[in-house]
Every structure is written in C-alpha cells, then in structure tokens.
Structure 1
Amino acid sequence: MSDGSAYQLQQFIPFSRDVYFRLLERIGESFWPLHVLTLLLGVLVLLLALRHKVRAGSILLAPLWAWVGYAFFIRHYAELNWAGNYIGYAFIAEAVMLLLIALSGKGLAKTAPDNRPAVIVGLILALTGLVGWPFIGLLSGDSWYQAEVFGIFADPTAIATLGLLLIMLRGWLLWLSAIIPLLWLVISSLTWWVLLNS
C-alpha cells in the first residue's frame, strides 16, 4: 500500500486550464445579467455593514452563499470535479449559518465599525472581492462573461465575505463562519497553482 508520498497535487485536479476557463465562461453566460444584481447586493451588504446594520447585511449575504453553492458548484463545477457537490453543500451550510447568526443576533458586532485593524482589513478584502476581482479578469483579457463577480462565482464571494465578516461579526462566531470561505480559498488557490503551472 502506498504511503501517499507518490501522489502529486496535479493528480487531484481532474481538468485542464482551458476546460476550467470554459466552465467559468459558461457560468458567466448562463447567469448574465444577474452579475449586476449580485454585485449591487454585495455593495449594499458592505454599506449596511459600515452603517452598523449588520443583521440586515448578514440576512442579505446568506442567499448569495446558497446561490453560489447551488448554481456554481452543484450545477456546474460538479461536472468537472466529484467534490463539487460537497463543496456546494458546504456553501449552503454557510448560508444557513449566516442566516441563523442574523436571526439570533449572536456574534453580531455591538458597536459601529471603527478604525480597528480588523475592520480596515475587512474593508480591503470586501472591496477586493466586490470590485478588484472582476477587474483582474478584465485586465488580463477575459470577457465580461469570464469576469468573476461576487454572488455568481466562488472566489470573489469568499474573499468579500471574509471582509464582511471581519466588519460585521465578533467572537467565536466570526471564526466559525470564516472556516468555509477560508477552506474554499485554500482549495481554489491550490487549483489555480496547478492549472497555471501545468
């Protein structure tokens, strides 16, 4: 029996870079012009978080996670990777957790955002996911359909959500709700590393 050291990361990515880019483009084409709505919802969540209306922000964020879980992972990504369904269910679980936090009021920030380092980092991450991420794709020559937009694609949704969580939540629920976005970003980073280096 193998000890696992003979495996390489490339063996766990069952698709090529071209296939993955085509998947992203297909997703973009399938849901256009929903991109505009999800992006506006993301900006609204950020504005609510900055105005200390964190309960409303968390309630609006939850369905976007459920949507990405279903539309991105279960409906599309699972065609390429057997783990897509499981990741989709994890995103839906994150949506449920965000909704429960909002409804219970536990873990929500009790004071308005200030200039603490966590809030500043949160704002930078939120803006990166909402504005920066789509423009990275556009600047690298991707079409509008391939531009990864918050609320449609997983990476910008996870990045922006980490920022929003730093602004809206406190205590152990902040850390608990950050697990799924962080795990996805690790998986995505490793996937991109393999695709760009193969």
Structure 2
Amino acid sequence: MLPFEASTWLAILGQYNTAIWPLHGIGALLALVAVGLVIPGSRAAGRVIGLLLGVLWIWTGVAFFGGSLAPFHFASEWLAGVFVAQGLMLVFALTLMGQARFGWPGRLGGGAAMVVIAHAFVGYPLLDAALAATPWTQLQYVGVAPGPVMLLTLGLLLLVPSRPPLVLAIIPLLWALVTGYMAWGLGQWLEFLPAALGVGAFVLLLLRRFGGAARAGPRPGV
C-alpha cells in the first residue's frame, strides 16, 4: 500500500508546482524542442534529443523525488536515483554514443507516438482538470513531472525508425507500471490511461525491434 492518500499526493504536486514556478514553461519548451528535432532526422538532432530528455529526467529525479516527495515517501531517494540514472543513460546512449536517428517510422508507430506524446503535453493536465476537477496547481505537466516525462520519452523512442534502443525504455515502462499501481491504490482512475499508454508504447517497441528482425530473416550465407 502507498504511504499516503490521494489528497496528500495532490498536495505534494501542488507544493512542487508552486516551488518551481515558472520553470514549467522551460520544461515544456525543452520537451517541444525535443519533439521538433525529430523532423531533421540527423544524428546530430538525435544527440540533442538525448541531452534534452536526460535533463528532464535528471531534473524530475532531483527536484520532485529528491525534494518535494522526500518527506512523504520512504523510497523517494531511491526513486530519485532511478530517474537520474535514466537521464544519464539517455545522455550516454543518444548524446555521447549517438545510437539513434529519429524520424517517421511508419503509420502505426508514428500514429502511436503522436498519441502518446500528445497525452504527455495536453492530455495529462486537461483530462485531470476537466474530468477529475483537479486544480491547475496540482496537475502533472510535461517536462517537470514523472508521468508526462515517461510518456514523452516512450513516444520519442517510438519515433526511432529502425532498431529502437529498448534498454532506454525499461525504466519508463517501470514507471508506467508504478503509475497504474498508484491509480489503483489512490483511486485515481484517470491515471490508468497514461499507464496503459506507457505499457502499450513499450509493447510496440518490442514488436518493432524483434518483429522487424524476424521479418528481415537470416543474412545471406548464414
């Protein structure tokens, strides 16, 4: 069971949003730039995307889990470390190693990526505000909160046309599962939607990575 109730979770988000204002705008701008850099499709653009995503994960780990959540959750330091580790992995794999080029992967993958990314930017706050009457100060916003950062990352990984780096999707998948658990534990049923989107995005990444390899078949002479 979670060590707090839904009202406490919302109060934590409210305190966090108040403390970091107006950095929400910077977080959203960095996220928007990362999405826009998919269009050039160059390796250099992929390096910048990795850097921007890394910054967002590290910020969320340090400021949210290591700061605002720390007095309320016994595992907050561990969660902060996991988010920082994900940020460092993104920077290492995409920025330093340049392991992925981004671009349009096709109708299914591209459409799914757009749905996931759109929910990270607008679906998360708008649905909670409209359907759950959550105050604007207690919503999760892209670039600075764990749920939208998770969806943004998985959506962008879906925009790697060939051999998406699955290792970079494992921690986002785990947070999607945690989001589903929190939805059940706190009675916040709208949180099942981002959890399902996150798990679905990971399944698509698996299918594209291994399904594509299977369709390609063995190399000549093997």
Q: TM-score range by the shorter chain?
A: 0.7 to 0.9
Work out whether residues 34 and 52 of structure 2, in 8 Å CA contact, stay in contact via their aligned partners in 1.
yes
Whole-angstrom distance in 1 between the partners of 2:68 and 2:162: 34
Uncovered stretches (5+) of structure 2, i.e. residues with no partner:
189-222
Uncovered stretches (5+) of structure 1, i.e. residues with no partner:
1-11
State the 1:112 CA deviation: 3.2
Match of 2:35 among 20, 38, 46: 46
Residue 36, structure 1, aligned to residue 25, structure 2: yes
Corresponding residue for 2:97?
Answer: 104
Match of 1:95 among 87, 96, 103: 87
**Range 13-22 or range 111-120, more displaced:** 111-120
Q: TM-score, normalised by structure 2?
A: 0.77
Closer, same or farther: CA 185–114 of 1 in aligned 2, 3 Å: closer
Whole-angstrom distance in 2 between the partners of 1:80 and 1:161: 26
CA RMSD of aligned residues (A): 1.8
Match of 1:134 among 125, 137, 153: 125
| Runs of 4+ that moved beyond 6 A | none
Corresponding residue for 1:186?
Answer: 177
Whole-angstrom distance in 2 between the partners of 1:184 and 1:149: 16
Q: TM-score, normalised by structure 1?
A: 0.85
Whole-angstrom distance in 2 between the partners of 1:168 and 1:32: 33
Residue 82, structure 1, aligned to residue 74, structure 2: yes
Work out whether residues 105 and 161 of structure 2, in 8 Å CA contact, stay in contact via their aligned partners in 1.
no
Q: How many residues are matched?
A: 183
Whole-angstrom distance in 1 between the partners of 2:23 and 2:48: 21
Higher relative contact order (CA 8 A, sep 6+): 1
Whole-angstrom distance in 1 between the partners of 2:159 and 2:20: 29
Match of 2:167 among 170, 176, 189: 176
Whole-angstrom distance in 2 between the partners of 1:122 and 1:54: 16
Corresponding residue for 2:15?
Answer: 26
Corresponding residue for 1:156?
Answer: 148
